[in-house]
Amino acid sequence: MSEENESSVFNMLKKISDNIWEVPMDYKPGMRVPGRIFVSEHLLSILEKETIDQVANVAMLPGIQKYSMAMPDAHLGYGFSIGGVAAFDKEKGVISPGGVGFDINCGVRLVRSNLSEKDVRPRLSKLLDDLFETIPTGVGSKSRLKVSDAELDDIFVNGVQWAVDNGYGVQEDVDHCESGGNIPGADPSKVSVKARKRGRPQIGTLGSGNHFLEVQYVDKIYDEKAASVFGLREGQVTFMIHCGSRGAGHQICTDHLQILTQASRKYNISLPDKQLACAPAQSPEAQDYFKAMLCAANYAWVNRHVIMHWTREVFENTFSKEFGDLGMHLVYDVAHNIAKLEEHTVDGRKAEMYVHRKGATRAFAPGHPDLPEDYRDTGQPVIIPGSMGTPSYVLCSTKAAMDISFGSACHGAGRVMSRKSAKHELHGEQVREELGLMGIQVRASQPSLIAEEAPAVYKSSSEVVDVVHELGIATKVARLLPMGVIKG
């Protein structure tokens, strides 16, 4: 970034502490609350001005509580910035698809094993080939799991429980998903025929872009106590799945964005950006979107669950043992594009509000009733995927997150280079070779995709995670290094 950009960004914001920067109310006319951007000085110096504009835009929406926030991995999005978090009063606030995004309940899940890096390394190449063969990836890929319309309804309403009831995974998996992999209140009658058509053939497909399945190993433990509660130890092999609700979610957002664009006019809500279309939280338009959005959220949990099931099967075949004997337990699954009705305390008053997280991970405090029993005293695992060549992290939530960020943390490293520049400046085959030298094998349908998602296009995941750790929103538990990755 140029020096000019640096000075202008710093002049616009008020420094609250080392990692907290305020977007003042007079930054843009019409802001109802200030903005809060959680970044280090260095991360701020590489933030686009437009990202700050997006934080300010969200601050103009009716019923917003406390601050319009951006997590340390914030970057330019559409509507909300990526890394944007905002809570709106249940009665006087709004619900906006722009605060969730098109890939509803895009998220990550982490599965551990009792295999060591040494067990897996010699068989890695074949393992990745088999995973790439088994898990449908890439543009236009279809699943071998075919569901009927009635089953799709069941998936929309019951989420991961549907998968377990139908032979995918085991009951203990359900407890280790955020919200039990199933948010109540989903209503399939609010989902269009188009969204159903797109969703039906795609359950158990990874998709494209930044989505991946990665085989990793635990390279460092920061917090022995929390690590042992999450079942993590040094040298252990894990795998991570990053994907969302595929065409079903994209279409549900597309459909309801049009309805809410008209609703914004009907309810006289002035919008700083058309992509922030919204309606009063209790209006039929907002509630219809919310109920359809929950269908996509539940669908996404099933999607990751089925991919996990097939991955366990590939490990079973490779190591000639049942996945239970391989210790392949689900550590946790978190959503990072979602809106939820949650209880938070603002100005000493407990109230329900619609928390929107767009590229942000929920990080609920220890003791919260939504946490599974075995983690309740310790805290919620917060899973932060890195990019292809960089580490991923497991963190543990703290009480502070509830006060600072409505129980939210970052969701990844955050891009710094556009796909366009990446394809121009980097070459897929060369990136593949460089990763190979680092011991990381890649399987991808297109070399250009490797360039687009190369380590150089992302901020350092370590730097982003350090801000979360220093702020005390969540603290570091373990670092995971990639061994092999499959991508669309």
Partner 1 sequence: MDNRFEYLEHTADAKFRAYGRSLEEVFENAAYAMFNVMIDTSTVAAEISHEIELSSEDMDGLLFNWLSEILFVFEVESLVFSKFIVDRIEQDEGGCRLFARAMGEDINLSKHKFGTEVKAATYNDMKIESTPAGWMIQATVDT
* Contact window for partner 1 (CB under 8 A) among 323-331, 345-353, 398-406, 440-448: 440-448
The least distance separating partner 1 from the CB of residue 265, rounded to whole angstroms, comes to 9
Residues catalogued as catalytic: 411
* Cα(83)–Cα(336) distance, integer angstroms: 9
Interactions with partner 1, residue window 137-196 (CB under 8 A): 138-140, 194
Burial of 403 (0-12, 13-18, 19+ CB in 10 A): middle
Contact 461, 412 (CB under 8 A): yes
In whole angstroms, how close is the CB of 14 to partner 1 at the nearest point?
25
Binding residue for partner 1, selected from 262, 270, 317, 345, defined by CB under 8 A: 262
Give the DSSP H or E segment for 350.
strand 349-358
Q: Quote the CA–CA distance of 477 and 488 in Å, as a whole number.
A: 30
Stretch 346-385: interaction string toward partner 1, x if CB under 8 A? ----------------------------------------
Does residue 398 contact residue 378 with C-beta atoms inside 8 Å?
A: no
Question: What's the CA gap between 379 and 229, in Å, rounded?
Answer: 10
Which residues are within 8 A (CB) of 385 and not within 5 positions of it... i.e. 6 or more apart? 108, 212, 214, 240, 242, 392, 412, 413, 461
Q: Scan residues 70-129 and list those touching partner 1 (CB under 8 A).
A: 75-79, 82, 101-103
Region 235-254 residues binding partner 1, contact defined as CB under 8 A:
247, 250-251, 253-254
Is residue 153 within a helix (H) or strand (E), and if so which, with residue range? Answer: helix 149-158
Angle between helices 284-319 and 246-266 (to 10 degrees): 170
Characterize the bridge pairing of strands 361-362 and 392-397: unpaired
Window of 88-96, 206-214, 371-379, 476-484 that interacts with partner 1 by CB under 8 A: 206-214
- The residues, ordered by sequence, that sit 6+ positions from 367 with a Cβ below 8 Å of its Cβ are 376, 377
Contact mark string toward partner 1, 396..425, x via CB under 8 A:
-------------------xxxxxxx----
Q: Is 205 left (phi over 0), alpha (psi -120 to 50) or beta?
A: beta
Which whole-number Å values give the CA distances from 437 to 1, 237, 441, in the listed order? 29, 20, 9
Stretch that binds partner 1, among 6-14, 307-315, 443-451, 474-482 (CB under 8 A): 443-451
Q: Is 37 in the site for partner 1 (CB under 8 A)?
A: no
Q: Pick from 105, 113, 179, 208: which binds partner 1 (CB under 8 A)? A: 208
Q: Which is nearer to partner 1, 159 or 249 (CB)?
A: 249
Residue 261 within binding range of partner 1, rule CB under 8 A: yes
Positions 444 through 463 that interact with partner 1 (CB under 8 A): 445-446, 448-449, 452
**Shortest separation between residue 418's beta carbon and partner 1, angstroms:** 5
Nearest to 473 by CA among 378, 380, 398: 398
Cβ of 11: how many Cβ atoms within 10 Å?
7
Among 48, 119, 352, 403, binds partner 1 (CB under 8 A): 48
**CB distance 38 to 401 below 8 Å:** no
**Is residue 6 within the footprint of partner 1 (CB under 8 A)?**
no
Binding-site size, partner 1 (CB under 8 A) = 45
Look at strands 441-444 and 94-95 and give their pairing: unpaired
- Cβ at position 264, least distance to partner 1 in Å: 11
Binding span for partner 1 by CB under 8 A among 32-40, 172-180, 272-280, 382-390:
272-280
Provide the binding-site residues for partner 1, judged by CB under 8 A: 48, 75-79, 82, 101-103, 138-140, 194, 197-198, 207-209, 247, 250-251, 253-254, 257-258, 261-262, 273-275, 277, 415-421, 445-446, 448-449, 452, 488
